[in-house]
Amino acid sequence: MRHIGIVACSAEGAALCYQTICRDASQIVGQHDHPRITIDSIPLAAWMPAFDAGDYPAVARIMLDSAQLLAAAGADFAICPDNTAHVAWNDVQLETPIPWLHIAGEVSAAADACGYRRVGVLGTRFTMGGQVYPDAFASVGIEAVVPELDDYEIVDRIIFSELVEGIFTDESRRAYRDVIDRLGRRGCDAVALACTEIPLLVGPADSSVPTLDSTRLLAAAALREALG
């Protein structure tokens, strides 16, 4: 099995991705078994100034610092269970010492396989306002739709004030349900949970349209890659 390197940005999303790989591997590989996994966690506080400034080369430097450490630890490839970090993808690919899997590429492939053609995107303000998902979805003929302004602000606020801190409330779950309902009324046939903490708050039963769980889709792709 190939060695997986995880570039961790926020603890909650990275932990969910790691747990998912291990639990799925136990079912596929054998009890208590999974590929070797190395996680490097540079604190979110180090990332936020670069995100806030729109300084994608600075985001890339953080990711490359992590990738160098993971490569030195023997990782064969890397994943980053953080959708926002993928704004720096192009800069990272210019200098990375090991290959990466792209989280939005995995989500768009899953959406296309399910036949979805208009997908709502829930994530941080950087993800909803950026090109990571519009570009990934456009490559397979899918339209990306973001919430309207009030909902956009609610989604982002809950992520940074609650979800990255491990706070999951019924009130916030209801707020996300309402946002998803409104995306459904705008013609979305699915919604991408394009922040790796959102699946900890919103499950399939909480959504009026099908959900695409970016965290678990990335974990599944990493496991497939590790198993060859």
**What pLDDT, in 10s, does the model give residues 100-115?**
999 999 999 999 999 9
List, for residues 107-142, the tens digit of each pLDDT value. 999 999 999 999 999 999 999 999 999 999 999 999
Per-residue model confidence as pLDDT tens digits over 148-175: 999 999 999 999 999 999 999 999 999 9
Q: Give me the DSSP letters along 134-174.
A: HHHHHTTT-EEEPPPHHHHHHHHHHHHHTGGGT---HHHHH
CA distances from 43 to 16, 62, 168, 218 (A): 17, 10, 21, 21
* Domain boundaries along the sequence of the chain: 4-102+217-227, 103-214
Q: Which CATH architecture has domain 4-102+217-227?
A: 3-Layer(aba) Sandwich (3.40)
51-89 per-position pLDDT tens digit: 999 999 999 999 999 999 999 999 999 999 999 999 999
Query: Helix, strand or coil for residue 81?
Result: coil
pLDDT at 69: 98
Fold for 103-214, please state it.
Answer: Rossmann fold (3.40.50)
Residue 148's pLDDT is 97
Nearest to 218 by CA among 191, 194, 200: 194
Q: Across all residues in the chain, what is the average pLDDT?
A: 98
User: Model pTM?
Assistant: 0.97
- 213: confidence class by pLDDT, cuts 50, 70, 90: very high
Residue 17 burial (C-beta neighbours within 10 Å; 0-12, 13-18, 19+): buried
How many residues does this entry show for the chain?
Answer: 228
pLDDT value for 99: 98
CB of 89 within 8 A of CB of 57? no
